[in-house]
Amino acid sequence: MTLGVSKATATSYFVWGVSAFRLLGVYILAIALFVIVIPTASAQSFVYNLQIGAFGDSASTGNVGVQVEIKTHISDVYAPDLGDAFWVGNNLINGAFIQFGYQISSSYSPACISGEVTKGQVKCQNSPEHIENGDARWFWEYWPNLNVIDFYYGVGDAHSAGSEGSWHLYTIEPNAAEGWNFVLDGRTVANFNNFQYAASKDPAYMVAEEANLSPESTGKLGPVEFRNLQYLGQTDREWHQVRSLIALSGCGAISPNCGTVPYGISVKGPNDILAGTGLQTRQEGELIWPGLNTLTLSVPYSARIMVNGSCCSRLANSMSHVT
């Protein structure tokens, strides 16, 4: 996390940094980003991000879109916590990163809710407005280069992430202009066409995250429920449910010494997790939901089979499915 200062406005802008996670022996970059505007006279500061979430299975690599349902949980944010975000994202083969979800933050005014950040300077595309503490709003970001803290972003209107306990589907998908659409509950709320869409280089993933001025967590993040993580196939252009979930847990790589991440994950059902405070902590790369695997066997009538040492009963049909 870095903090740049706009000399013209004496206002600083922080952006969430980069975290590296090991998945099946491969390091995967998980970007945690949302922009908050902080009035301050300080020239520098450090922001630590603490993340808990899950990657989908390797079959979701190479996708051209991702989506997940997130249950809105609203809470106020108090120092040293600067804000919390809950999102779905993709790391792309062109070196970019894209994400979409909702955020809550401390009260800020004025806040630029749409623009571009280049070398720590914000180019605002709208009139700044006031953001209330705990106001849940959708947001998106696109980083052209994972290794450079330059990015484009947008934040929705007040309370645009819905009321407490409401479910919402957050979708990132290609559009007719070969850019990206950000779709909330089937309605396109924003698009980004500065760069052409690209396939992912890593599995789809979903994250709950805290941005903090202290290297220690506040101990208060959600918990928030995510379900039905899906990816858009590059060839068939159909949506597919991920077949397993692998834990993501860690800190930002730019300011990585944030102590132990105390947040955890509870598996509520198939492709359905609760992430945040008061849950079982997880190791990076831990398989948290193995999915359901189906073995299809074609055998003659009256045959008997052994699966992992267990013998089935006599088969009545020529085809049997073993789960």
Q: Are 279 and 297 part of one and the same domain?
A: no
Assess whether 71 and 19 both reside in one domain: yes
What pLDDT, on a 0 to 100 scale, did the predictor assign at position 32? Answer: 41
> What confidence category does residue 61 fall into, taking pLDDT thresholds of 50, 70 and 90?
very high
For the CA atoms of 276, 249, 23, 247, the dihedral, rounded to the nearest 10 degrees, stands at: -30
Q: Which of 25-39, 204-218, 243-257 is the most confident on average?
A: 204-218
- The domain in which residue 314 lies consists of 293-323
Judge if pTM exceeds 0.85. no
Asked if residue 299 and residue 287 are part of one domain, the reply reads no
- The Cα–Cα gap between 102 and 197 comes to 22
Euclidean distance between CA atoms 34 and 109, whole angstroms = 16
pLDDT digits (tens, 9 = 90+) for 278-300: 999 999 999 999 986 655 556 66
Residue pLDDT, tens place only, 221-263: 999 999 999 999 999 999 999 999 999 998 854 555 677 789 9
d(CA 188, CA 177): 14
Mean pLDDT for the stretch of residues 295-312: 57
Same structural domain, 31 and 154 = yes
190 and 318 in one domain?
no
Question: How far is 167 from 171, CA to CA, in rounded Å?
Answer: 13
Q: Which among 29-38, 49-58, 213-222 has the top mean pLDDT?
A: 49-58
How far apart CA 238 and CA 240 sit, in angstroms, is 6
Q: Is the pLDDT of residue 104 over 80?
A: yes
Kindly state whether residues 243 and 311 are assigned to the same domain: no
Q: What is the overall mean pLDDT for the chain?
A: 80
Are residues 105 and 10 both part of a single domain? yes
AA identity, residue 299: V
- Tell me which long-range contacts 171-179 makes (C-beta under 8 A, separation of at least 24): 171/65, 171/66, 171/67, 171/100, 172/65, 172/66, 172/67, 172/88, 172/89, 172/90, 172/98, 172/99, 172/100, 172/140, 173/64, 173/65, 173/67, 173/232, 174/64, 174/65
Asked if residue 277 and residue 318 are part of one domain, the reply reads no
Amino acid at residue number 289: W
Does 242 lie in the same domain as 318?
no
Whether residues 6 and 64 share a domain: the answer is yes
Q: What pLDDT is stored for residue 149 in this prediction? A: 80
The secondary structure element, H or E, covering residue 322 is strand 319-322
Do residues 254 and 317 share a domain?
no
The pLDDT of residue 293 is 60
12 and 43 part of one domain: yes
Please count the structural domains in the chain.
2
- pLDDT over 90, % of the chain: 57
Read off the pLDDT of each residue in 59-85 and give the average, rounded to a whole number: 94
